[in-house]
Structure 1
């Protein structure tokens, strides 16, 4: 009996040791589980293909929970605007709300000169500028978003006017750089933008910023853009007759934020301000034929002026005519002859509210009718009166103003050819709610919507 009791006493310490060991192991496992549950992986550690099928207006926040992966909070987009005079980058951050149009939370903007077309004969040299702008994108977007941020370059009139192979080589160089970047790149990410798409995208930008696309009672407005190589007019017709009588390629429909929009939109290639200058001066777009003159003489230039002007890789000698009949009438005849039968009147546009951009804005600043920073309103008659005054008072002016007579005369005529009266008022703005009023925002919306629908 004493022996059995002694054996029981000996077993108690062993059992206690086992229980203590198990308790310690359980505590350790609980600690490990608690520690690693509190550390969520960043997006960059999740395979990119996990998110790509969900791309569109549904995206993740910086440290996503499982519900946030589905519902989303932010979306970034990077748009390169490769224009005729420079390349600009727009980095957009969109805030996403359920059953609402996205809101623009932030934009980063940077511009460099010259445009891609300046490197037409040496495409390798465009790399430095593109890489500089890619660095802007990388520093503006959290790394966890890079693999799901669409990276897009749209080239406009500057590349449209280049011979096909030269434009292709430049775009191929950009594609190589984009493929090596950490952003979302697809086959259609780099392209030459159709002029009509440029007008539509600018229309989307303006109407998004004024609230016309948010399902409210805010009416949409028309858009006029005067670039270097082309000019666009875009508006939403209110009269069915406009849709029925307009050329079929001037009318387009698209969906945006669950609404269908029908637009009148046309781009006039070759009627941007720089191309129009050349035509009014008597030159021909593109490299002159061997043996042809690069000397251009015009009544739209100050009498006795002689200077150099480079356009589309050609250096021209520009001269004014000797003083004779009033310069404005002589210049007006040249402009009207160049524009004869090239522009269609835009029906009901004359009765609609319009915003005007780019060189419309710049020349109004030169006239002093709007403030350079805040913009303002301008009438067609302001351009006409300004052209008369500048042309008839021309002297040998500083380089920046030598084409002011020609430019103002051209703008005043093209607006009237589009069907606008002399007392028509346009709103001029470089920004709306501190956002650049270019086509880039609208094109980014359009591109992300296309990804979402695929």
Structure 2
């Protein structure tokens, strides 16, 4: 696996959002009004942090480099969902990102540069109208327009990533068998997406909440039936133990502005149990939690996973954190995970000196 440090895999979702926005006649007309270059600014308000991506395009809307990179990227922590009780502070937390974006986009192009802010699972999981208030604070405090700010639902998040990646690989417009499957592992949710046959689509059951598992999209003249599986991670106040916590820890963990009592499980790390891999399955095949798996097929033959692979590889010594990219094999992540699961919290810095 290889990744450029300033070219995060989550960029693929944002690139599709950006190009999708540019495809509208109004925005396209603005972009094409300048002779040589155009810019677009995307804010990714995720569960664990907020990021800004600035893209530069030529007149054909193909990407141009910004400095030595394919984009300008900057991230801050924590995410907007941490400001549930202070929406204005959440909006102001994005000000440094906005300032940096303005320093990248030439002043004469700023009036015609589209800006989008897309929030994901962190805001979706907030209770009541907290998410709405945070977005409204962004509109008023940072002078955003309402149409610039939105919360992506899990279906959009998963399908955008699938479309973006297959677009960049040159697969769109071809038969579904030529596409690849995607898994997007975020801080508050995970989405698995892949194209399935028409036969499998007609047999698709409904989700427990009544929503369909399959979306139909027409892309570059080809119809695709796209299977989406969504899983949201929710903090629970019912139990203080978690398979994600190192042995020997007994304290608190803050998520979405709420402090939960947290400790390691008494009987080791049972992540398989937490994912409900052995849950009853009412269908021919299931993934975790008894969820229908789409029946696999050619669209699932090649799988691309997106997450903080580079960051974790650097933290546990798989790759050199001083270099902008690196290569790693899945087995190295497995070995590091086994080592981490057998390490007490008091020993973690001696085992993994670069851990945050």
State the TM-score, normalizing by the size of structure 2: 0.71
Structure 1 CA distance for aligned equivalents of residues 297 and 308 of structure 2 = 20
In the other structure, the counterpart of 1:447 is none
Pairing of 1:13-24 with structure 2 (within 5 A): none
Q: 1:288 corresponds to which residue?
A: none
List aligned pairs for 1:30-41, cutoff 5 A. Answer: none
Q: Return the offset for 1:129.
A: 2.3
> Which residue is equivalent to 1:167?
131
Q: Distance in 1 between matches of 2:255 and 2:26?
A: 45
**Which of residues 304, 326, 331 in structure 2 aligns to 1:374?**
326
Alignment pair present for 1:137 and 2:81: no
1:232 aligns with 2:191: yes
Name the counterpart of 1:191. 150
**Does the 8 A contact of 1:78 with 1:137 survive in 2?**
yes
Cα gap change, 1:297 to 1:138, in 2 (>3 Å) = closer
Say whether 1:60 aligns with 2:43: no
2:83 touches 2:90 (CA, 8 Å); kept in 1? yes
Residues in 2 aligned to 1:316 and 1:338: alpha-carbon distance in whole angstroms = 25
Which residue of structure 2 aligns with residue 348 of structure 1?
296
Q: Choose which of 76, 83, 90 in structure 2 pairs with 1:126.
A: 90
Decide which of 385, 391, 412 is 2:341's aligned counterpart: 391
Bigger helix share: 1
Q: Structure 2 unaligned runs (5+)?
A: 1-23, 66-70, 207-211, 280-288
Shift of 1:375: 4.5
Q: Is the 8 A contact 1:87 1:111 kept in 2?
A: yes
Q: Contact 1:369–1:378 at 8 Å: present in 2 too? A: no
Distance 2:278 2:83 in 1: 30
Aligned counterpart in structure 2 of residue 252 of structure 1, from 198, 215, 218 = 215
Q: Sort the Cα spacing of 1:120 and 1:218 in 2 relative to 1 into closer, same or farther, 3 A.
A: same
Distance 1:354 1:224 in 2: 7
1:94 equivalent to 2:57? Answer yes
Change (3 A) 1:377 1:216: farther
Aligned to 2:179: 220
Query: Residues 251 and 337 of structure 1: is their aligned pair in 2 closer, same or farther, counting only changes over 3 Å?
Result: closer
Judged with a 3 Å threshold, the aligned counterparts in structure 2 of structure 1 residues 251 and 214 are, in CA distance, closer, same or farther, namely: closer
Q: Is the 8 A contact 2:175 2:222 kept in 1?
A: no
Whether 2:218 is the aligned partner of 1:268: answer: no
Counterpart Cα distance in 2 of 1:57 and 1:203? 27
2:274 is aligned, of 330, 335, 342, to 335
Please give the per-residue CA displacement for 1:40-89, whole angstroms capped at 9, x wherever unaligned: xxxxxxxxxxxx96432773364x5xxxxxxxx54422111111111111
String of CA shifts for 1:408-434, please: whole Å, max 9, x gaps: xxxxxxxxxxxxxxxxxxxxxxxxxxx
In structure 2, the CA distance between the partners of 1:358 and 1:243, relative to structure 1 (3 Å rule), is: same
Q: CA deviation at 1:130?
A: 2.1
Structure possessing the higher relative contact order (Cα contacts under 8 Å, 6 or more residues apart): 2
Q: Contact 1:252–1:264 (CA<8 Å) still a contact in 2?
A: yes
Q: Does structure 2 conserve the Cα–Cα contact (< 8 Å) formed by 1:61 and 1:74? A: no
Q: Partners in 2 of 1:401 and 1:352 — Cα distance?
A: 37
TM-score for both structures, normalised by structure 1: 0.57
Matched, 1:243 2:219: no
CA distance in 2, matches of 1:191, 1:255: 23
The more displaced of 361-370 and 165-174 is 361-370
Query: C-alpha displacement at 1:358, in angstroms?
Result: 1.2
d(CA) in 2 for partners of 1:338 and 1:260?
A: 32
The 3 A distance-change label for structure 1 pair 143 and 375 is same
* Aligned with 2:262 (options 306, 318, 322): 318
Assess if the C-alpha contact under 8 Å between 1:225 and 1:360 holds in 2.
Answer: no
Q: Is the alpha carbon distance of 1:74 and 1:303 closer, same or farther for their aligned partners in structure 2, counting shifts above 3 Å?
A: closer
